[in-house]
Structure formats: C-alpha cells, structure tokens
C-alpha cells in the first residue's frame, strides 16, 4: 500500500469541502495538517485535565506536568538528545532569537550566515552581531568557496539553514559543519524547520551546537518550537524572558534560576500543544522511513517535472531531484500579481498554495526578481494532486496571458 492511501484518512482536514468541492492542501512548508491522534491528544487534555503545569502539587497539575514532560522526552529521543537539552519555545523564530540574544555577543561579533536564511534566522543574527551572508548560485546552492572565505574571518557563530523554504534545496550540512569545525571554534546553529519534517536528524552525529524547528511543520499543533542546545552552551545562555516558572527562589534582593531547560521557559507554555506535539512525534516515528522517502521522491519529481513543462513558468531552484524536499517555487510570467493567481487557484480550483516572498525576501529577489508561487507537499499528498495543480495553473495562465513587455503602452 502506498503512503498516501494508507494515511490520508488520518487527516480530517483533507475531507474539507469548499462550495461542495474537495480541496488540495499544498502549503505544507507553511504548516502541515494534523492527524486525528494529535487532535485527540489536544482535546483529551482539555476534556480531562486543563490544569497548569510545574506549579501545583494537586493531582491534575501533576498529571499535566507529566504529559508535558513526556512530550519533551519524546522530542529529545527523536533527536538523539537528552531531555534537559530540549527547550520548548513558541516556534523556530523564538528559538533562534533565544540563541542570538542569549549568547550575549559583542555587537561587533562576526557571524556567518547564508543568503537563503529565512527572515527568522537572518534578522536575529543581524541584530546580535555583524552578519556576513554566504552567496548562493542561480539555483540557490551555497557557494562553497565563498563559505570557506568567510570562515577564514573566524566567526563567533555560523548560522546555517538545513533546507531552504524557497528552493527546497537540502544543503550538505554535515560537510559544512566539518569544515566549520576544522577552521574555527564557532558556535554552529542550524535552522532545521524545513528539514526535520522530512528526515531524521541525530544532533550528536551531526555535531550541531544548537538546532531549531517548529512542531507545527511536522504534524504538531501550532505554538510549539524546539531549541536543542548542547548542555555546556545552554548553561551559558541568557534567558530571553524572566518571570514565573524559570526561578527556584525569589527574595527582595534577587532570585535563583532554575536549571536548564526550565530557565528558558518563563510563563505558562502552550501545554495542550506540547502534549499534541508528543503525539505528532509518535505518529511520524510509526511511519516506514523508506516508503516515506520514495513517496517524497515521487512528489518532488512531479513538482519539478510540472514546473519544467509548463509554459510561462520558471522553476526557482535546481531541477535535480537529489538533495531536495517535495517543494517547488515558481516565477510566473503572467499579467496579474502572483497573489491573485494563488487566490484564483484556491477559489476556482481548490489548490491551496503560497505566494509572495516566503519570508526570505533577499533570496527570492535575487533568484526570481519578484514574488513567487510556492507549492509544497507532505506525506499525505498524492502525485495526482500535483498533476491536477499544474493542469489548473496552465489553464489559468493561458486565460490571463503573459505580462506585458516592459515599456509597453496601451
């Protein structure tokens, strides 16, 4: 049985109809849909418990704390980390801000990043230090020579993106990290928001210092991000927020911080969503990795193939199928804004796809010259949906017609 048929039924949102017609959800890089087991875990917490964690000694609070901590352990095991190295944040953005602010760098500290960084990786480092970005080629692959050159400046931090949310390119981060380790003693921070939903990562084997991702992009509820940090480095990190839940003792003269990871989790967290995140990890771990990989290859082949054969469409990113996820970005030669095309694809055909700069504006401007349409698949999508998407897009583009040549006057 193929992956798509065995699992589609687990996702109730896929049964959604708009104006009596089925829909196709192809905006998975923004966030994924949730399986029944995740929705049930969230609902069950509210129906049977609903208490706060880590504060009370009463039965409900202890139960809620246990379920919350069980999710942390599941996430830690998934990464090959210890539970005390897993900080639960609101999202990847908060996790990256926590590292960038928490390292307390000198404002002049030299940081190396990459041109394809999401704004959530680029802006925190630009605020924290002096950021230099590694160039990419016309397909969005890193310029390895330029990367080496930047490393020669002995950065304090190297902030890598594992997989671009614009091109779908998965960078050879193991090789990059080996190069960083041999050239510098920089702290290595990896944005795994788009890679971890598609592949297992063992933080020890990869030898990263910090790794950030969002549970909502891998079947979990919104409101939960994860920051893995090597214990030694977490111990020196300054918390982003201070307040209740992160201290052991407070008197009029000062306070005593709790140990990691709790010192980074001030305030009441997204308890239900964290519990649901544990269910998401369980769901993903029960899938056959080989079948998933083959299915993703088929989806990627359909996505790239459609882009290469559709008139008025330019693929932004490489045409090769190796080292990429099931995501393509398209630059359209069409007489209306790309956002209008996305709206028409949704309202007239039922295809939910993304338009704009994808929170990676410097990269999108550099590679595409303007807004793009992004189509991103996940394990419950089918090749037939991709084929249908391109049929709809081709029909729409042929109705609207190409953009007027620059300088053309009516």
Catalytic center residues: 359
Q: Tell me whether residue 160 or residue 397 sits nearer to ligand PMP (CB atom).
A: 160
DSSP 211-276: EEEEGGGGTSPTT-EEEEE-HHHHTTPPPS--STTSEEEEETTEEEEPPTTGGG--S---HHHHHH
Which one among 24, 71, 97, 194 touches ligand PMP, defined by CB under 6 A? 194
Q: Tell me whether residue 4 or residue 32 sits nearer to ligand PMP (CB atom).
A: 32
Q: What are phi and psi of 96, to 5 degrees?
A: -70, -35
Q: Which residues contact 210 (CB under 8 A, 6 or more apart)?
A: 99, 187, 188, 189, 190, 227, 228, 229, 230, 233
Q: Whole-angstrom Cα distance, residue 34 to residue 203? A: 25
CB of 79 to ligand PMP, least distance (A): 17
Three-state secondary structure of 126-175: HHHCEEEEECECCCCCECHHHHHHHHCCCCCEEEEECECCCCCEECCHHH
120 belongs to the binding site for ligand PMP (CB under 6 A)? yes
355 belongs to the binding site for ligand PMP (CB under 6 A)? no
Q: What does the DSSP 8-state code read for residue 27?
A: B
DSSP 86-100: EEEESSHHHHHHHHH
118 belongs to the binding site for ligand PMP (CB under 6 A)? yes
26 belongs to the binding site for ligand PMP (CB under 6 A)? no
CB of 90 to ligand PMP, least distance (A): 8
Q: Tell me whether residue 184 or residue 214 sits nearer to ligand PMP (CB atom).
A: 214
The site for ligand PMP, by CB under 6 A, has a size of 15
93 belongs to the binding site for ligand PMP (CB under 6 A)? yes
CB of 165 to ligand PMP, least distance (A): 3
Q: Whole-angstrom Cα distance, residue 292 to residue 218? A: 13
92 belongs to the binding site for ligand PMP (CB under 6 A)? yes
Q: Tell me whether residue 338 or residue 360 sits nearer to ligand PMP (CB atom).
A: 360
CB of 85 to ligand PMP, least distance (A): 20
Q: State the burial class of residue 389 (Cβ atoms within 10 Å of its Cβ: 0-12, 13-18, 19+).
A: buried
Site for ligand PMP in 142-171 (CB under 6 A): 161, 165
89 belongs to the binding site for ligand PMP (CB under 6 A)? no
Return the residue matching tokens 């809620």. Answer: 64
Site for ligand PMP in 199-258 (CB under 6 A): 214, 225
CB of 376 to ligand PMP, least distance (A): 10
CB of 146 to ligand PMP, least distance (A): 20
Q: Tell me whether residue 31 or residue 338 sits nearer to ligand PMP (CB atom).
A: 31
Question: What phi-psi label fits residue 179: left (phi over 0), alpha (psi between -120 and 50 degrees) or beta?
Answer: alpha
Q: What are phi and psi of 149, to 5 degrees?
A: -60, -45
Which one among 42, 187, 193, 219 touches ligand PMP, defined by CB under 6 A? 193
- Contact set with ligand PMP (CB under 6 A): 29, 91-93, 118, 120-121, 161, 165, 191, 193-194, 214, 225, 359
């Amino acid at each position: 049985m193929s992956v798509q048929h065995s699992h589609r039924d687990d996702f109730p949102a896929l049964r959604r109809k708009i104006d009596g017609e089925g829909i196709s959800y192809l905006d998975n890089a923004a966030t994924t849909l949730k399986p029944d087991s995740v929705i049930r875990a969230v609902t069950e917490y509210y129906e049977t418990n609903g208490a706060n964690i880590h504060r009370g000694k009463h039965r409900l609070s202890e139960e809620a704390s246990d379920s919350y901590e069980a999710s942390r352990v599941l996430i830690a095991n998934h990464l090959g980390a210890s539970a005390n190295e897993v900080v639960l944040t609101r999202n990847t953005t908060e996790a990256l801000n926590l590292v960038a602010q928490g390292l307390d760098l000198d404002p002049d500290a030299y940081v190396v990043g990459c041109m394809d960084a999401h704004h959530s990786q680029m802006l925190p480092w630009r605020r924290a230090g002096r950021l230099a970005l590694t160039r990419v080629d016309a397909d969005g692959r890193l310029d390895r020579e330029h990367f080496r050159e930047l490393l020669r400046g002995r950065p304090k931090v190297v902030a890598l993106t594992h997989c671009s949310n614009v091109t779908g390119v998965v960078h050879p981060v193991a090789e990059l990290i080996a190069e960083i380790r041999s050239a510098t003693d920089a702290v290595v921070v990896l944005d795994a928001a788009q890679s971890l939903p598609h592949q297992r990562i063992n933080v020890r084997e990869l030898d990263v210092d910090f790794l950030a991702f969002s549970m909502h992009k891998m079947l979990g509820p919104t409101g939960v991000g994860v920051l893995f940090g090597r214990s030694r480095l977490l111990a020196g990190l300054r918390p982003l927020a201070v307040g209740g839940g992160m201290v052991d003792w407070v008197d009029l003269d000062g306070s005593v911080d709790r140990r990691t990871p709790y010192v980074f989790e001030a305030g009441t967290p997204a308890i239900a969503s964290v519990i649901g995140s544990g269910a998401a990890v369980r769901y993903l771990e029960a899938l056959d990795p080989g079948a998933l990989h083959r299915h993703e290859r088929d989806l990627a082949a359909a996505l790239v193939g459609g882009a290469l054969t559709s008139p008025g469409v330019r693929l932004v990113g490489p045409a090769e199928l190796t080292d990429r996820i099931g995501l393509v970005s398209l630059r359209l030669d069409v007489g209306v804004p790309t956002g209008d095309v996305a709206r028409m694809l949704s309202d007239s055909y039922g295809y939910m796809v993304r338009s704009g700069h994808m929170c990676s504006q410097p990269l999108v401007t550099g590679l595409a010259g303007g807004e793009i349409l992004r189509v991103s698949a996940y394990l419950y999508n089918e090749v037939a949906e991709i084929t249908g998407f391109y049929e709809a897009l081709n029909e729409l583009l042929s109705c609207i017609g190409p953009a007027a040549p620059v300088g053309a006057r009516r």
